[in-house]
């Protein structure tokens, strides 16, 4: 059955282009369009789409307020479009807080110059969200007028349509046989905790990091697939919400306990044995910028068996080969379980390769990390 999509944008040009792109995929059916937030709510209630694409700036009612009301009245996965700017990052994070399921930077130049790339990425994002784990999104399997308000950013994912996204995005995996969750891990000390994630990551990272105490005993490196313009705003938001400190990593930063460094979008983050972070230009040969495998691999070389790597929700398999290097060095690897993932791709790749020492739900990961102290 085709994925039903509602396209919402006050720009006739963008509305038509998004409709044309989606209509070119036989797995997708555009069931309606709207040019403001109020129309979006009315169309959602009438058409019950599987996924909604939503612009932010619109007359009558903006996209964020529309998302908020849709989540209260007819919970549906929403992809929010926003500009590739610092302000666009703020809008995207606000949209997640309102209940959006994902976001994509709105780039007219990409639509004109790289239509095939945009078509592939948008269609795969839509189909992935239509098949996503609705329970992890906080959505009901069927629309409910009495649905409670969305709980906010702590239960919403995000991703990107940018240089930091994969050149060949992988669709959400088909449902697999459930992997049994692991018993609580044995307590041990680590010189570094490294966390990698993609689709659903901003939500997952917030849920995990807000559980950590200010005196968390290890430094953290965070790798989230995200555009260059977005990572600074995301790090600032996490820093305000968490008891540990969080900042966007800069070349020459030194690891220290109780501080998390977020890899800047469009670049690669590595660490050496002295605990000095190196930020390198994004290699065009690599699909992901930043890349979890690159950071995990450097951590394995720098700290051998003293690393705890955590692979959270995300499309694709980034992190698997880095996890392999860490395991060969004697380090530990945790993977998020399928039930709490938005997209069970990256953690599944690690689990299927038998690289995970522990498989835990998102709440357990935060709790077990907090207990390291």
Cβ–Cβ < 8 Å for 84, 231:
no
| From 198, 298, 331, 332, active-site residue | 198
Cβ–Cβ < 8 Å for 63, 55:
yes
| From 318, 331, 332, 340, active-site residue | 318
Residues with Cβ < 8 Å from 118, sequence gap 6 or more? 21, 110, 111, 161
Exposure of 358 in the CB half-sphere (CA atoms within 13 A)? 19
Helical (H) or strand (E) element with 309: strand 307-311
CA 247 to chain centre: 18
Going along 148-306, which residue ranges are E strands? 192-197, 220-224, 245-248, 259-262, 267-271, 277-281
Active-site residue flag, 225: yes
- Alpha-carbon gap, residue 296 to 300, rounded angstroms: 6
Nearest alpha-carbon partner for 194 in 371, 334, 328, 315? 334
| From 225, 331, 337, 340, active-site residue | 225
- Alpha-carbon gap, residue 34 to 209, rounded angstroms: 38
Residue 37, judged by CB atoms within 10 A of its CB (0-12, 13-18, 19+), counts as buried
- Alpha-carbon gap, residue 81 to 95, rounded angstroms: 10
DSSP result, 46-62 = HH--SEEEE-SS-SSS-
- Alpha-carbon gap, residue 159 to 121, rounded angstroms: 11
Cβ–Cβ < 8 Å for 265, 231:
yes
Q: Please identify every residue annotated as catalytic.
A: 198, 225, 318
């Amino acid at each position: 059955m085709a994925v039903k999509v509602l396209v919402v944008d006050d720009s006739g040009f963008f509305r038509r282009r998004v409709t044309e792109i989606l209509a070119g995929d036989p797995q997708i059916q555009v069931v309606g369009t709207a040019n403001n937030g109020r129309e979006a709510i009315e169309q959602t209630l009438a058409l019950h789409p599987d996924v909604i694409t939503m612009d932010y700036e619109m007359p009558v009612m903006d996209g964020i307020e529309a998302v908020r009301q849709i989540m209260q009245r007819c919970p549906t996965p929403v992809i929010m479009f926003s500009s590739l700017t610092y302000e666009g990052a703020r809008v995207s994070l606000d949209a997640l807080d309102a209940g959006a399921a994902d976001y994509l930077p709105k780039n007219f130049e990409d639509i004109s110059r790289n239509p095939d790339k945009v078509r592939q990425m948008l269609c795969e994002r839509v189909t992935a969200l239509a098949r996503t784990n609705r329970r992890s999104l906080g959505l009901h399997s069927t629309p409910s007028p009495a649905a409670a308000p969305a709980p906010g950013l702590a239960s919403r994912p995000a991703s990107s349509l940018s240089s930091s996204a994969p050149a060949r995005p992988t669709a959400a995996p088909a449902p697999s046989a459930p992997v049994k969750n692991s018993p609580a891990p044995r307590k041990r000390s680590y010189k570094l905790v490294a966390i990698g994630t993609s689709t659903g990551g901003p939500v997952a990272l917030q849920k995990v990091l807000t559980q950590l105490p200010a005196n968390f005993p290890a430094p953290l490196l965070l790798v989230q697939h995200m555009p260059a313009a977005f990572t600074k705003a995301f790090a600032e938001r996490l820093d305000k919400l968490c008891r540990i400190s969080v900042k966007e990593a800069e070349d020459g930063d030194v690891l220290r306990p109780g501080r998390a460094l977020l890899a800047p979008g469009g670049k690669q983050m590595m660490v050496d044995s002295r605990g000095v972070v190196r930020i390198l230009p994004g290699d065009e040969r690599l699909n992901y910028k930043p890349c979890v495998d690159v950071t995990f691999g450097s951590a394995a070389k720098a700290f051998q068996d003293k690393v705890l790597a955590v692979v959270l929700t995300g499309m694709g398999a980034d992190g698997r080969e880095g996890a392999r290097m860490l395991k060969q060095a004697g380090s530990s690897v945790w993977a998020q379980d399928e039930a709490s993932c938005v997209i069970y791709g990256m953690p599944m790749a690690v689990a299927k390769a038998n690289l995970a020492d522990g498989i835990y739900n998102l709440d357990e990961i935060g709790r077990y990390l907090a207990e390291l102290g």
